Amino acid sequence: MREDLLHYIWKFKKLSNEGLKTVNSENITVQNVGSHNQFSGPDFFNAKLMIGQQLWAGNVEIHVKSSDWYVHNHQEDPGYDNVILHVVWEDDISVYRLDGTEIPTLELKNIIDQDLLGNYQKLFTNRKVGFINCGYDINVLPKFNLDNWKERLYFERLEQKSDLILKLLQEYNNDWEKVLFVLLLKNFGSKVNGDCFYQLGRYLDFSIVRHFIDKPFDLESILLGLAGLLDKEDLNDGYYRELRTNYVFFKAKYGFDEINTLKAAFFKLRPSNFPTIRLSQFAALYAHKNNLFQELMSADGEDVYKLFDIRAGNYWNTHYTFGKTTGSRSKGLSKKFIDLMIINTIVPLKFCYIRYKGETPNDSFFDIIQNIEKENNSIVENYIKLGVSIENARDSQAILQLYDNYCNKNKCLQCAVGTELLNIKP
């Protein structure tokens, strides 16, 4: 037995209100189950119960066994003095408040619907596939209900991504341009160099960046230098020497210190994702753009892609690393790469900015994400194999949220699919 099932039973009133009794045979009438508490403290606040002839208002605590009260040291916590009912699967010991009064206990193991218990056991112990608990039963929800659930999941994901944005806005006094700079740079680093580029973006004072808006070579030298890519004194490459000389000058002028940033990595990266290429592209993005944030916030559809139609410097047409010549090819951003930036940075930033202005996201906001193709990764593909319809990037983001925060954490009783399966009659 898991405690989350007991929470579900209490929260959604899966108990008959007739014949409920405490282990001491007092009648219980539930007038209000209370508000589910997801943080520390009793599990349900402000419940209202008739126990015997007395109307009680207070909190409800839920455990698998009564003795868990003492395992969790609630007997020493004044925050649990206002518990008016202890709901347990098995009553194995009496529980008391700090003042010595006994807390009424409701035992559930002999009064729960057997069909509900059977469905619960099936959900958690009889997987049809190894990927997620519900397996091919995931399509038990009607399409309308599943679409609504995916919409809610997508908003959850936006809220989750908003946390970092709001934290950075507070740190940088609502400087949206600086926040955009940091988050875009993080995205340019992808998985391997994301932390390095993020740290670099945070370290670099944006007032310095503004001095180089129309000087991409200077900005490129600073970014490459801080990423530890200009640390060889004897490399025989003309462009490298120019960059290094430039960086050494700015390092002395602004007091840069690479010890405050991580060194960029090349390991397991395709050449198009090498940090040398990405940082040159990033410098080109900021060339001649004094207000990139406002341009992106006002851009819709194809205009966003036009803003990212940039190329690494000419040197990189024939190089991926310093000193090694390759065939000539212009190094621009692929549509897939831009799509990921829109999904992970631009749309979450727009979401926060719209709310910052006191407005509500409209259809044009959702059109951006809905017009992007679904992401291709193993998680999305596994859900498709189970028959889940994933039509665009909004759907794939919703499914990633479902997997990360529900399926992978066994939070089936907080999922629309899981609760539907729980209530199916055999």
pTM value? 0.83
**What's the rounded Cα separation, in Å, for the pair 113 and 124?**
17
Query: Containing H/E element for 370?
Result: helix 363-370
Residue with tokens 């700015």: 250
Q: What is the SS3 assignment for 105?
A: strand
Q: What is the SS3 assignment for 116?
A: helix
Q: pLDDT digits over 244-271, tens only?
A: 999 999 999 999 998 888 999 999 899 9
Query: Which pLDDT band holds residue 342 (cuts at 50, 70, 90)?
Result: very high
Mean pLDDT across the chain, nearest whole number?
A: 92
Residue 161 has pLDDT above 70, yes or no: yes
Give the residue, 235 or 128, on which the prediction is more confident.
235
Q: What is the SS3 assignment for 189?
A: coil
Residue 33 CA neighbour count, 13 Å, CB half: 18
**What's the rounded Cα separation, in Å, for the pair 311 and 278?**
10
Would the CA dihedral through 181, 186, 188, 189 be positive or negative? positive
Query: Which pLDDT band holds residue 46 (cuts at 50, 70, 90)?
Result: very high
Q: What is the SS3 assignment for 102?
A: strand
DSSP letter, residue 372: S
**What's the rounded Cα separation, in Å, for the pair 227 and 279?**
9
Contact 256, 250 (CB under 8 A): yes
Q: pLDDT digits over 287-319, tens only?
A: 878 899 999 999 887 899 999 999 999 999 999
Query: Which pLDDT band holds residue 227 (cuts at 50, 70, 90)?
Result: very high
> What pairs with residue 59 in β-bridges?
83
Q: What is the mean pLDDT of residues 33-52?
A: 94
> What pairs with residue 58 in β-bridges?
47
Contact 352, 162 (CB under 8 A): yes
Contact 219, 286 (CB under 8 A): yes
pLDDT at 152 (0 to 100): 96
Q: How far apart are the first and last CA of the chain?
A: 21
pLDDT at 362 (0 to 100): 86
pLDDT at 82 (0 to 100): 94
**What's the rounded Cα separation, in Å, for the pair 349 and 52?**
55
Q: Of 293, 286, 3, give the one whose Cα is nearest residue 120.
A: 3
pLDDT at 126 (0 to 100): 58
3-state secondary structure 275-320: HHHHHHHHHHHCCCCCCHHHHHHHCCCHHHHHHCCCECCHHHHHEE
Residue with tokens 């926060």: 352
Residue 127 has pLDDT above 70, yes or no: no
Q: What is the mean pLDDT of residues 31-59?
A: 94
Residue 233 has pLDDT above 80, yes or no: yes
pLDDT at 130 (0 to 100): 63
